[in-house]
Chain A
Amino acid sequence: MTQKKRILIVDDDPDFSTAIQKILSSANYDVDVAGNVKDGMQAIEDKMPDLILLDVMMEKYDDGFNMCYDLKHDDRYRSIPVIIITAVTEVTGLKFNPETDGEYLDAEDYVQKPISAEALLDKVKRLI
């Protein structure tokens, strides 16, 4: 049997993280949770996840975007796929579509909160 894949969730909403963790573990992934950017970076260094689920708005409006940018400009972490998650819709004027968002283009995918278990697992499976 191959080794379990490891996923890191970085989100400041512990309830949301718990629910997502449940969904991912039910599909046999190892899941770690971090509640802010600092803990997230630490967890990435310690555990080297295979994939990162990253919330956009944490302490600051664009924490997630900035963290994604940093990861994708760091040779050690560049290759870890990132899925951006957000509760905010496009109408607020905040952009987060990796296809059109030059600087954040490097995020592999993005999802909107809430997300169906099926859709989430689909996206994860496509990347790892």
Chain B
Amino acid sequence: MSVDKARILVIDDEKVIRDSCKRILIAEGHIVKSAEDGDIGLSLFKEFRPDLVLVDLKMPGMSGMAVLEEIESSDANVIKIVITGYATVSSAVDAMKRGAYDFIPKPFTPDEILLIVARGLERRHLLLESEALRVEREMRRRNMISLVSHELRAPLAATVQYLEVILGGMAGEISSEAKEMIDRCDIRIKELLELLSRWLNLATFDPMKIAEHFQDINLSDVARESIEVLKSLAEEKKVSLSLDTPKDLPPIQGSKMLLEEIFTNLIGNAIKYNKVGGWVKVALYEKDHEVWVEISDNGLGMKEEHLSRIFEEFYRVDGRRNAPIKGSGLGLSIVKKMVDAHTGMIDVESKFGEGTTFKISFPKFNI
């Protein structure tokens, strides 16, 4: 779009206004279409795809305010200018709140409307330019991530594939000592692959995108499924797992995939950082218009100085490389991001040697 020639839609019930706007703007080289009410205006808006719309606030049928809102929600980058015969401050402010860029009181001179339209189009130009830059930057970031991911994963994948052949006995017999070492190689490389996926998850995680696909979710189901997944780990570690949830827990708005990730991460940690005979309790309840999740354990617990840092990326409570319990140091930072994406809050209480409780609250979803 060039600043000097644009597509403009005029929505006004007064024929005189429509015709004069048309005449003035066409003379400037713009492409102009007009509609006599909001409904016709909106359907024309969809097929004509204007850069700028002039809307009368007071029309029979659909109001100018409603038209503004529709246009704002379908494309906020379209410049909306309000034409009004009763240019009160309050109606102008109201219109601005609904996304209007400017307003012009009736009656107006050709110079007045040309000035306002020119300013609006300049604004449109800037909006489109910054939008294009933003999209380009995002694309470049994503391409870079995909490329790096591919370059890092491909050699690891090939190596693991060879190990699979060797360990499967498809390349002849190997000594039991060699097999033990190759088993370790296999485990370590798979850990690295896993770390890479987690890092990618973090790097490409876009809360805005995720929120577009939110559905109403019953957290009881999510908790049950996550516990099911972790049952064998708990059995292996001799840790008992329990769930306490009311039958009528209200739904929340969220992404099932992410919520499962939150639950499996926290429950998984509670199992891993526990002792033989320990327990992990998951409790769900409703309080103060929020749905609460409490995941508590009587495991190892954490010292005060770690608590404020556990949501940081790559922070590990046991910082040693050869810590007895393996982890990437990314889990909780991802959990925090995912809780944030659900406009929830996460908090932790812990006593060293006694156990840890994570508390998460999500806004309740009301229909």
Contact = CB atoms under 8 A, between A and B. Distances in A.
B150 to A, nearest CB: 5
Given A26-B170, A87-B154, A117-B170, A19 B149 contact: no
A11 to B, nearest CB: 9
Interface size class of B (residues with CB under 8 A): 20 to 34
29 contacts: A13-B157, A15-B158, A15-B161, A19-B165, A20-B161, A22-B165, A23-B165, A23-B168, A23-B170, A26-B168, A57-B150, A87-B150, A88-B149, A88-B150, A89-B149, A89-B153, A91-B201, A91-B204, A92-B142, A92-B146, A92-B150, A93-B142, A93-B146, A94-B146, A114-B161, A116-B164, A117-B164, A117-B168, A117-B170
A77 interface: no
Interface of A: 13, 15-16, 18-20, 22-23, 26, 57, 61, 87-89, 91-94, 113-117
* CB-based closest 7 A-B pairs: A113-B157, A19-B161, A114-B160, A15-B158, A92-B146, A16-B158, A87-B153
Interface string B132-147: 0000000000100110
Interface of B: 142, 145-146, 149-150, 153-154, 156-162, 164-165, 168, 170-171, 193, 197, 200-201, 204
A14 to B, nearest CB: 9
B200 A91 contact: yes
Nearest to A61: B146
A113 to B, nearest CB: 4
Contact of A19 (B162, B193, B200): B162
A87 B222 CA distance: 29
A36 to B, nearest CB: 15
A97 to B, nearest CB: 14
Contacts of A16: 154, 157-158, 161
A4 B112 CA distance: 83
Nearest to B206: A93
Nearest to A55: B154
A52 B157 CA distance: 19
Main secondary structure of the interface of B (DSSP, over half): helix
Nearest to A57: B150
A22 B145 contact: no
B161 A92 contact: no
B149 A92 contact: yes
Contacts of A22: 165, 170-171
Contacts of B149: 88-89, 92
B158 A92 contact: no
Contacts of A89: 149, 153, 197, 200
Contacts of A15: 158-159, 161-162
B169 to A, nearest CB: 9
Contacts of B142: 92-93
Contacts of B158: 13, 15-16, 19, 113-114
B154 A92 contact: no
A74 B145 CA distance: 34
Nearest to A88: B150
Contacts of B197: 89, 91
B164 A19 contact: yes
A109 to B, nearest CB: 18
Given A16-B161, A114-B157, 4 more contacts: A23-B170, A88-B146, A92-B150, A113-B161
Nearest to B168: A117
A23 B165 CA distance: 6
Contacts of A113: 153-154, 157-158, 161
